[in-house]
Structure formats: C-alpha cells, structure tokens
Amino acid sequence: MSNLSLNPEDWIPHRAPFLLIDRLISIEPGLRASGEWRLTGDEWFFPGHFPGRPTTPGVLMLEAVAQVGAVAVLSDVRFTGRLPLFGGVENARFRRQVLPGDTLTLECEITRLSARGGKGHGRASVDGQVAVEADLLFILADAP
C-alpha cells in the first residue's frame, strides 16, 4: 500500500453529500479496503431520520461499506476506468443503531472479482461492535 493515496476522492467518483468515507485506513488493491465515516450530527439525513431520535439509515451504512469496496476494486490497475455498481445485497444484518457522534469503521473484503463484476463481504462497526454486515454483489460498468 506504500504509495497509494488514502483520499477517497482519488479512487471513487462520489462527492458530498454522498461521499460517505471521511478517510481511508488501508487499501490492498483488488482484495480489501477499510475506512472511517465520522457522524457529526450535522448530516443531511438526521433531521428526518428520525425527529427527536437521530439514527443513521441502514441503507447508507451499506452504501458506505460499498464505497470502501469500490476503492478496493478500483485501486487494482486492471479496473482503472471502470465503475462498480450495486448488483445486489445478500445476508444483510443490522445489529446496532449508529448515532450522531459515532465513528463507523468500514471494511470490505472482495471475495470474487472478474472483468464483469464480483462480490464482497463488508461490515461497519462502532468501537468494535458490528452495526451492519452484508455480502455485496456488484457489476463493473464503464465510467463516464
């Protein structure tokens, strides 16, 4: 990983307000990546999800894990110029609420990868407690 950028914007096309990775921790091209998403309480979704009890939406936690997975895929030189798109989610389990002030540790390991797509196993956790875990299926499209 020595020369790889840990800036998520160098790897994936997502931008605010939909870039859900604040920083990357590690990248092993084509194999795995990890990062963090710090939830300050100022995020756009908290006022409506839910008023009086702000909770991070589960689908956004899955998206954050998928974004880390996309970094793992796109850091592999074989997939430069491609765009991983969701193909499906299997075995998703939501295990704890994620609240303002929490930091999600995001991890995704690529378990199958080909020129057309693949599969990854990902999780998001807070202080070592799993918040969500799932198998993510993706296809690889040409980037615009």
What is the CATH number for 86? 3.10.129.10
Task: Check residue 113 and give its pLDDT.
Answer: 97
13 lies in some domain: no
Q: Positive or negative CA dihedral for 18, 24, 27, 32? A: negative
Scored b (16 or more CB within 10 A) or e, 64-93 reads bbbbbbbbbbbbbeebeebbbeeeeeeebe
Domain that holds residue 42: 18-142
Q: Quick one: which H or E segment has residue 89?
A: strand 82-94
Confidence of residue 2 (pLDDT cuts 50, 70, 90): low
The number of domains in the chain is 1
Q: What is the pLDDT of residues 44-95, one digit of tens each?
A: 999 999 999 999 999 999 999 999 999 999 999 999 889 999 999 999 999 9
Q: What is the pLDDT of residues 99-144, one digit of tens each?
A: 999 999 999 999 999 999 999 999 999 999 999 999 999 999 998 8
Task: Check residue 3 and give its pLDDT.
Answer: 82
7 lies in some domain: no
Task: Check residue 1 and give its pLDDT.
Answer: 45
96 lies in some domain: yes
Q: Is 121 a catalytic residue?
A: no
* pTM of the complete model: 0.96
Separation of alpha carbons 29 and 102, rounded Å: 28
Query: How much of the chain exceeds pLDDT 90, in percent?
Result: 95
Separation of alpha carbons 140 and 104, rounded Å: 26
Is the pLDDT reported for residue 40 higher than 50?
yes
Contact 107, 32 (CB under 8 A): yes
Catalytic option among 45, 49, 76, 94: 49
Separation of alpha carbons 35 and 30, rounded Å: 16
138 lies in some domain: yes
99 lies in some domain: yes
